[in-house]
């Protein structure tokens, strides 16, 4: 892995074939400018932890789209493998219909650009990137292969970044959820927050 992608930097753009509503379509990351994007990588189709993540994001898709956010899943499989997995019933370990695009990264260029490719295994680690409407990476997390991600936490992080981007004089403390107190990032004004929560 040679990429030095960090939060605050531009997300690497890509154009690739995705399965969208059981059809093959060319999509680019740049076509989602003006929206937030949750871009997540998973190792392989027809595996075990992966379908639980993919279907969990699909089941909560409306919670993302209602917040001006698109979800994109990526693995190093082909679009044909993605389609076959989508056409397999959930009770059989498949995905069934899902609400967002699954991107094919057969040449592993996208995973490599996001520094999540395990070169030895030839698969992507469980990387997740929150990209803002200007195309900047605001959040990144990478799990090793055996542990899946938390969709609820992804939503919480999304809402926190949306809040601070709309309210530049505020920051979100640990465990913040919408409706809770934020703080002012100022040595004096921040004391209001600490006084209220102690």
Each residue of 96-138: pLDDT tens digit?
899 999 999 999 999 999 999 999 999 999 999 999 999 999 9
Report pTM.
0.92
Each residue of 33-64: pLDDT tens digit?
999 999 999 999 888 777 789 999 999 999 99
Q: Which of 11, 18, 29, 50 is catalytic?
A: 50
Residues contacting 108, CB < 8 A, separation 6+: 76, 117, 122, 124
3-state helix vs strand vs coil in the chain, percent to 5: 30, 25, 45
- 50 catalytic? Reply is yes
Strand partners, 104: 75
């Amino acid at each position: 892995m040679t990429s030095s992608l960090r939060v605050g930097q531009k997300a690497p753009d890509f154009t690739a074939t995705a399965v969208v509503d059981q059809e093959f379509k060319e999509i680019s990351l740049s076509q989602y400018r003006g929206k937030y994007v949750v871009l997540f990588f998973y190792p392989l189709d027809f595996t075990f932890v992966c379908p639980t993540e993919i279907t969990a994001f699909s089941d909560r898709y409306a919670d993302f789209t209602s917040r001006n956010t698109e979800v994109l899943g990526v693995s190093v499989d082909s679009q044909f493998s993605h389609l076959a997995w989508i056409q397999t019933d959930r009770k059989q370990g498949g995905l069934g219909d899902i609400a967002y695009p699954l991107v094919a990264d057969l040449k592993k260029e996208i995973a490599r650009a996001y520094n999540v490719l395990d070169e030895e295994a030839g698969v992507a680690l469980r990387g997740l990137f929150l990209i803002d409407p200007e195309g900047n990476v605001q959040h990144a997390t990478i799990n090793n292969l055996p542990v899946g991600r938390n969709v609820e936490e992804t939503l919480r992080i999304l809402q926190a970044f949306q809040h601070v981007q709309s309210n530049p004089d505020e920051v979100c403390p640990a465990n913040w959820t919408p409706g809770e107190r934020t703080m002012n990032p100022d040595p004096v004004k921040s004391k209001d927050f600490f006084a209220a929560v102690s």
